[in-house]
Structure 1
């Protein structure tokens, strides 16, 4: 509402002043002509022309923006209020605390378009904010009296390391609140993105990005400087990508925050991955594996040797699945070693190794060292190259069960990915036990889900009949009005058998194996599991379509949102 009101005030200020009798029609026409050439705010032009004065303009803007007017001429706000805001933030935001009205802090600005800083000040000061208008000259004088002169060149002083790390700095409170809200929202990532005139902050919750806040772009330098200092990055470097990490405790959670900085045309984009190292690991059942799939999974991971792969795109839950496997095997009679990049969760009773490529400790080197440690179970975070693949396979052939991940779209393609890396087919055939491909779908909110008659799309995708019901969720406070709360895995399984091993030995190219695998009785489709979960009311038709390829259903992509539309009806 502030932003809309401010824009209205900017567009019609001259007419408003004319209608109020504050300026003449001739003065308005002259001011409009000047504005076409100089692109200055109407109020500034009218004051420069002598057609009116600053207080008259400010009062008019206050009326149009539905804000009170505060006369700061010759006055200095109380220090107990101005001390709430540091000098850099005050000058950057061009705002100053001037009074208290009950629980609200009244903050003066001289530009109605700056009313958006109210959101930022709420984060910075953790107070209810009420914006008020004053004149530019009075605001400038009050800022100088309260905070000292603004730095030459029209910008605030650069943020020093001490300032960025100071626990008293409001930007520190803003960042702290951002992390607290991210944890409370179950966010996996925080995205901070500068655009023209604003900085957007988004949380990724249950795999979907949601706008959390927008801040004035003037706040961005202090915000980025603080995050860079906290992550051990170079605050002066703004041209190159940087990666760092922040360790902190938030609401009882011991967070390991991975920070990625990327230069963009509007400034540096910052993405932070939140990992709770002490989080409780989930069981096979909690992953979303049904009883049959759990038995299959256990039968493979309990084998004394061989290699077992989990595949899927980034963010599909592969690490969580492998950790569930390790938890299942984590007994005193087994020695378990992992090499990861990064070590995402600490597991008691398991020896975990973080790769350090800069000192030569990569996946393959760690694997070779593992073989001298006499482990029963080995986890390799990811197979990225032929060397790592061959060492992992050799380990699996010498009395170890090896778990790892690759990035492919389906289970059979994980096998051909190893072949494409240059691993000989006979090594793959003799070592590979099975592949689990997976995606994550959003769970329907248990608080607001309900049954309704199945629509045409549900009948088409889920194989329902007319008169059957489908589960939808309309959205509530518990799920943030999204209709979803949490995620569950959907899975595709491939178990190697004699026929599939023979096909690897006899194939002329990788497509021959893909044909054999997709026709095998040991292969279960991701789509089958996704449909079963939607029919059971765990997820929606639109989520099924999002994570699967349904080539035989004409027009499905054009109508894939109908489940969500139905849920909002």
Structure 2
């Protein structure tokens, strides 16, 4: 009877907590056995919170068995993965992972929501300067745009929102992904099976490029074949969007170079990198006043006054405090005691200019990020400081945007060498430091006025450099076309010489074979620069690509079908370099 009661309690518990997680749009649920209890945690907006703790240990086993039963998993202690079908009691697909621990099996549920339209780009990019830069990037005609960030940073959401922002009836857009997260109307979505290997993924990209898209989104670049296929798409005139799992723009470049991509090729193809980070947003209805620690007083080139402006921290309650606040009616109705309400995305936008060429070719991640900031890129730290000053986030979230080495150095700088105590506790020293900070701010103002005049010129200069880069790409493409035409004329001569020989001796056969080998090598060279042979036999006649040499009356092939190839045709992108000469079937009279 006790066993039945425990199973009923576990079933009710799981059903309630999963329903609550789905209602709160959580992404994960964690059932974690402890030494004498069961703990349940929930991840929402990238933040991990304790939902229920100190549940009786008797619930561990029936909870594990119930979840495994829903996913049709074996009742063993070995690690397993499975799926709770969408058609089941929860209405959504749940991906389950089990992992044995010293106190029992920990179970993680990932909630897979139905794909919806992405949010508007202007809702995601709150900083107006960043939005303007991103808007210019995604409206380019050709090049590689990388969306980078750590897990749950918002990079994929920005990619899909960008596709939605630029889609038009006159554009052909393809999107390839293993796990598409959103649906964008009028875009060709191609879902790749998760077990498909990297070479097959790259082949899918090549096949899409043969469909002549204007814009191609290729999901995550995490292998050399995928990276090469993406760069080849750029070389053939596509605007390519892709994600890279990296924390900064510099690390994304270094990561691709480490895969085996030549730095020069990466620099030539890439026009911009958008790095993402998500910060938790303070709940404005229950936030509490805060005084930041002394290590935030000076962050690189950013000055924080610790006295003149109010700052805030989150009123985050423990599960016990939440229950107590519910009983007294003091629980914040907007954040339910979490202290935060949603997230705020911030973006570092690196525009690839000639001034970054030497740094990118060296492939040093930190040097690339530093050089980008020197050329005007706003750093995560500067963006987070602005949000902190505006009371939208906390010092804890701000520290996530600062290099740990900078924080450690600042902490050392706030320690009095003689006493070993923090200088922040010495009010006289603190006031003196603040005075000199104000002097530095005053001296800095004149310099900032000069910089303000240069910013407009700098922006125009960057746009001019971008136009030069695009023009260079167009010139290179035109040059490849001219080379292809020259090679085709040579192929014609070789083909004529080969077909004119009617071999009767071994010497004539050897000569004809030599011509054939030479013709094959020439065709391979033409293919390497992007020229493709028009497919003919068995295909429908297309006046744009084929020239009818003769119409043949036959019932063996459908009317309008090409039944013989007289001379091959060649294409470069959407440009036909030479029509294929063919015989076409017509209906018998």
1:187-226 mapped onto 2 (5 Å cutoff): 187-214=26-53, 215-226=55-66
Which of 384, 394, 397 lines up with 1:540 in the alignment? 394
Q: What is residue 348 of structure 1 aligned with on the other side?
A: 185
Unaligned runs of 5+ in 2: 317-331, 415-589
Residue among 466, 474, 481 paired with 2:337: 481
CA RMSD of aligned residues (A): 3.2
Q: Report the secondary structure of 1:282's partner residue.
A: coil
CA distance in 2 between counterparts of 1:557 and 1:272 reads 40
For the 8 Å contact 2:356–2:368, the answer to whether it is kept is no
Asked whether the 8 Å contact 2:222–2:244 carries over to 1, the reply is yes
Q: Check conservation: 1:338, 1:381, Cα contact below 8 A.
A: yes
1:516 shift after superposition: 7.1
Quote the Cα distance in structure 2 between the aligned partners of 1:539 and 1:464.
Answer: 15
**How far off is 1:522 after superposition?**
4.6
Instruction: Verify the 8 A CA contact 1:490 1:526 in the aligned structure 2.
Output: yes
- Within the candidate set 298, 306, 311, 2:143 is matched to 306
Match of 2:209 among 345, 348, 371: 371
Residue matched to 1:387: 225
Listed as ranges, the matches of 1:168-317 within 5 Å are: 171=11, 173-214=12-53, 215-231=55-71, 233-244=72-83, 246-247=85-86, 255-279=92-116, 281-317=118-154
CA–CA distance in 2 between the matches of 1:266 and 1:450? 38
What is residue 4 of structure 2 aligned with on the other side? 89
**C-alpha distance after superposition, 1:320-361 (max 9, x if no partner):** 121221221233332322222322233333332332254558
How do 1:330-345 and structure 2 match up within 5 A?
330-345=167-182
Matches of 1:495 and 1:266 in 2, distance apart? 51
Structure 1 counterpart SS, 2:185: coil
Q: Which residue of 2 aligns with 1:463?
A: 303
What TM-score does the superposition give when structure 1 sets the normalisation length? 0.62
SS in 2 for 1:524: coil
1:67 matched to which residue of 2? Answer: none
Following superposition, the deviation at residue 379 of structure 1 comes to 1.7
The alpha-carbon distance between structure 1 residues 477 and 226, as it changes in their structure 2 partners (threshold 3 A), is same
CA separation in 1, counterparts of 2:298 and 2:283? 23
Q: Aligned with 1:478: secondary structure?
A: coil
Contact 1:307–1:403 (CA under 8 A) maintained in structure 2: yes
* 2:162 match: 325
Task: Tell me what 1:497 maps to.
Answer: 353
Partner of 1:434: 272
CA 1:557–1:222 in 2, change beyond 3 Å: closer, same or farther? farther
- Tell me how far 1:444 sits from its aligned partner: 0.9
Q: How many residues align?
A: 393
Q: Is 316-325 or 283-292 further displaced after alignment? A: 283-292
Shift of 1:503: 4.4
- Secondary structure at 1:374 match in 2: coil
Shift of 1:436: 1.3
Say which of 358, 361, 375 aligns to 1:521. Answer: 375
* Structure 1 match to 2:480: none
8 Å CA contact retained: 1:500, 1:516: no
Q: CA deviation at 1:432?
A: 0.6
Question: Could you tell me how far 1:313 is from its partner in structure 2?
Answer: 1.5
Query: What SS does the aligned partner of 2:229 have?
Result: helix
Q: Compared with structure 1, are the counterparts of its residues 359 and 297 closer, same or farther at alpha carbon in structure 2 (3 Å cutoff)?
A: closer
Q: Is the 8 A contact 1:355 1:363 kept in 2?
A: yes
Deviation of 1:296 after TM superposition, in Å, equals 0.5
Kept after mapping to 2: 8 A contact 1:441/1:547: no
Give the secondary structure class of the aligned counterpart of 1:187: coil
Q: Which residue of structure 1 lines up, in the alignment, with residue 249 of structure 2?
A: 411
Determine the C-alpha separation between the residues in 2 that align with 1:315 and 1:372: 33
Q: Do the aligned partners of residues 336 and 343 (structure 1) sit closer, same or farther apart at CA in structure 2, a change above 3 Å counting?
A: same
1:493-535 deviations in whole A, cap 9, x for unaligned? 2110122235445x4x646963773464053311111111212
Alignment of structure 1 residues 52-67 onto 2, 5 Å: none
In 2: Cα distance, 1:557 partner to 1:338 partner = 47
2: CA distance between counterparts of 1:484 and 1:353? 37
How big is the shift at 1:458?
A: 6.0
Q: Is the 8 A contact 1:444 1:473 kept in 2?
A: yes
Q: Deviations over 1:238-287 (max 9, x none)?
A: 31332435426899xx6343322223333322212223224452222322
CA contact (8 A) 2:178 2:192 kept: yes
Aligned to 1:30: none
